[in-house]
Chain A
Amino acid sequence: MMLLEIDNLSLNFRTRSGVVKALEDVSLSVGRGETLGVVGESGSGKSVLSFAVMGISDAAATVSQGAIRFEGLDLLKAGPSDLDELRGAEMAMIFQNPRTALNPIRPVGRQIADVLLRHAGVTRAQAQDKAVEMLARVRIPDPERRAKAYPFEMSGGMCQRVMIALALACSPKLLIADEPTTGLDVTTQAAIMDLVGELARESRMATLLITHDLGLAAERCDRIAVMHAGHVVEVAPTAELFARPRHPYTARLISTTPRPGASLAALEPIPGSLPDLRGELAPCRYSARCHLYQAECDAGPLPRQDDNGRMVACRRPA
């Protein structure tokens, strides 16, 4: 049994202008100590998926099918108190919008101490010390004094690191990291990802690393799942995905990443855009943009070939 198993999850949002089919038939799993990357264009459903796992979806969301199991427990059926117990202690999330996700009127050190008090069974003094230690580990200079700062007194990247400290404080079994290092320079990013990697090894923490930085994903993930318009279109071990992408979208995504030294003229956006997720959608949501499209692609649900840990959802995979 994997630590986290997502089975055939479909999720919709009600809006004033119709139902947005944000996730359809999403299946993924993460094992202990494993880092699974989730990549894909903006709007492809990466954050919506992580909110669903954390049980904090928008009020307008409904899950129309599927299951999310954490250590065998079905999270979609679990009661609110069970989920509260899990969140923060067993599974923790680093949000994409760091400053707005922190409590604006509580010093950052306190916020970290609060989680420790709630979940780690420590004294207040121990919690304070551990909070300062966590700030140091995420490389906040002068952690003792900066622990007293409020989020508005910190830079964007510092808020992001505070949130990382907050998420890692209780050594969760599962870390969901939604673009955890976008606000960080590459040297700080490397230090933070080393820290996450250390915890993954030491305490077998599983990580769901959501990013659109393919370089980062290549460096840090064991396996990568590629999402497009609410579908998982490909899953593969990292090296294999880059060496031999099978889904045309994956190939496109890889070739669009600017190489160091490339020129602006050489950058080619992926043609077309994500389809409007309201109303009728083709079985393959990439078909309108795909250079391999044939009429057969519209013939019912896509086959999912599953071999040697690779999955691809396409009629005409490479």
Chain B
Amino acid sequence: MRPLLDVVDLCRRFPVGKSQLHAVDMISLHVMPGEAVGLVGESGCGKSTLVRMLTRVLDPTEGSIRFDEREIGYIPAARFTRTPDRALIQMVFQDPTESLNPRFTAFDCIADPLRRLKGPWTTAGLKARVEDLAGMVGLPVELLGRFPHQLSGGQKARVGIARALGPEPRLLILDEPTSALDVSVQAVVLKLLDDLRRRLGVSYLFVSHDLNVVRLLCERVIVMYLGKVVESGPVEAVFATPRHPYTKALLSAIPSRGEEGGPRIRLSGEPRSPIDPSPQVCRFFGRCPLGADACQTEMPELREMGEGHRVACHTPMD
């Protein structure tokens, strides 16, 4: 089977004065048809920048993005909106307040991509489809006439998810879709996503800070740190035996109501700057509890540690 999404050496740099901020630095990844891949990592490590390039709303500095074996990385973001692939790759944005048009009612927010990318619709047909989508994500139909400022955070988040599902994408990229949702609605949405994957073979790239949710929904997980992938592999393997010291610290910090889990690893030391970072020094150096000499002179590369489990560290843990 060929990957649905295949990304090679993707980079995005932003100018900051005379310097360059390396938001995404030589990232390669793939998503298979019907696969759910989780993307986790520290706030500011480049997850949104990466997924905004993949959904082609942001142009890469370098690298290739292949969707269904077609190169789409070179198509300027403004032109991509007019290609047929637009309907096939959809995105749920991180901040629902920012991504919903304040002059659209919830109904129109959901109907807009349907009108543009699907159809033609009859008035009744469109109404039925929008109400169906609202029902799928647990959004009460009586809220469809409201404007975004009249909705709560979690209600807006559900509008964002319904809108992205409307055009029946093959790849759905979700940037923190559940962070505004309470546990009950979250259960509804996660079950829905899982069902769409099983029934229709929809693929997901799922950015989340909620590691429990990643474990529930995803088969594979990618861990980023400051613009780089530091670990990736099957969810069970990575959660059971994290190899990268950052992953280990991350997993130890899950609030667990004191029931289980070992002591929390607190990272001390200053995080490195993403602006003009040294190409020789591991990005985690300085906060890493293991840091050795090699970490300051050579950037660790991703290495296979068994069964698709890869880690970029000179002193991987066991």
Which residues of A approach B to under 8 Å, CB–CB?
Answer: 13, 15-17, 40-43, 46-48, 58, 60, 96-100, 139-142, 145, 149, 153-158, 160-161, 179, 182-191, 212-216, 218-219, 242, 253, 256-264, 267-270, 273-274, 276, 278
A45: shortest Cβ distance to chain B, in Å? 8
How far, in angstroms, from A60 to B179 measured CA to CA in the complex? Answer: 28
A238: shortest Cβ distance to chain B, in Å? 10
Q: Are A42 and B273 within 8 A (Cβ)?
A: no
Q: Does B153 contact A (CB under 8 A)?
A: yes
Which residues of B approach A to under 8 Å, CB–CB?
Answer: 14, 16-17, 40-44, 47-49, 94-98, 138, 140, 142, 145-146, 149-150, 152-155, 157-158, 176, 179-185, 187-188, 190-191, 194, 209, 211-213, 215-217, 249-250, 253-261, 264, 266-267, 270-275
A186, closest chain B residue (CB): B253
Question: Given the complex, which residues of B lie within 8 Å of A41, measured CB to CB?
Answer: 154, 182, 184-185
Q: Are A153 and B14 within 8 A (Cβ)?
A: yes
10 additional A-B residue pairs with CB within 8 Å, beyond A145-B16, A182-B209: A17-B145, A41-B184, A47-B153, A96-B153, A97-B95, A179-B153, A186-B211, A218-B258, A256-B183, A258-B187
Question: Given the complex, which residues of A lie within 8 Å of B158, measured CB to CB?
Answer: 42
**Which of B154, B179, B187, B255 lies in contact with A219, CB distance below 8 A?**
B255
How far, in angstroms, from A161 to B183 measured CA to CA in the complex? Answer: 24
Question: Given the complex, which residues of A lie within 8 Å of B266, measured CB to CB?
Answer: 190-191
Question: Given the complex, which residues of A lie within 8 Å of B157, measured CB to CB?
Answer: 42
**Which of B14, B17, B43, B146 lies in contact with A184, CB distance below 8 A?**
B43
**Which of B96, B149, B274 lies in contact with A58, CB distance below 8 A?**
B149
Q: Are A185 and B187 within 8 A (Cβ)?
A: no
Contacts between the two chains (Cβ within 8 Å), count: 183
Q: Are B257 and A264 within 8 A (Cβ)?
A: no
Q: Are B257 and A215 within 8 A (Cβ)?
A: yes
Question: Given the complex, which residues of B lie within 8 Å of A183, measured CB to CB?
Answer: 43, 94, 176, 179, 209
List 13 A–B pairs whose Cβ atoms lie within 8 Å, in order of A's numbering. A42-B152, A47-B153, A140-B44, A153-B16, A183-B209, A212-B181, A258-B212, A260-B256, A260-B261, A261-B215, A264-B194, A267-B190, A274-B140
B46, closest chain A residue (CB): A155
How far, in angstroms, from A213 to B209 measured CA to CA in the complex? Answer: 12
B47, closest chain A residue (CB): A155
Q: Are A42 and B179 within 8 A (Cβ)?
A: no
B316: shortest Cβ distance to chain A, in Å? 19
Q: Are B43 and A141 within 8 A (Cβ)?
A: no
Nearest 3 Cβ contacts at the A-B interface = A42-B154, A157-B43, A215-B255
**Which of A47, A58, A142 lies in contact with B275, CB distance below 8 A?**
A142
Q: Are A190 and B253 within 8 A (Cβ)?
A: yes
Q: Are B153 and A158 within 8 A (Cβ)?
A: no
B318: shortest Cβ distance to chain A, in Å? 21
Q: Are B187 and A186 within 8 A (Cβ)?
A: no
B128: shortest Cβ distance to chain A, in Å? 20
**Which of B17, B150, B188, B209 lies in contact with A13, CB distance below 8 A?**
B150
Which residue of A16, A184, A190, A214 has the most chain B CB atoms within 10 A of its CB atom? A190
Q: Are A98 and B184 within 8 A (Cβ)?
A: no
How far, in angstroms, from A58 to B146 measured CA to CA in the complex? Answer: 14
Which residue of B48, B158, B212, B260 has the most chain A CB atoms within 10 A of its CB atom? B212
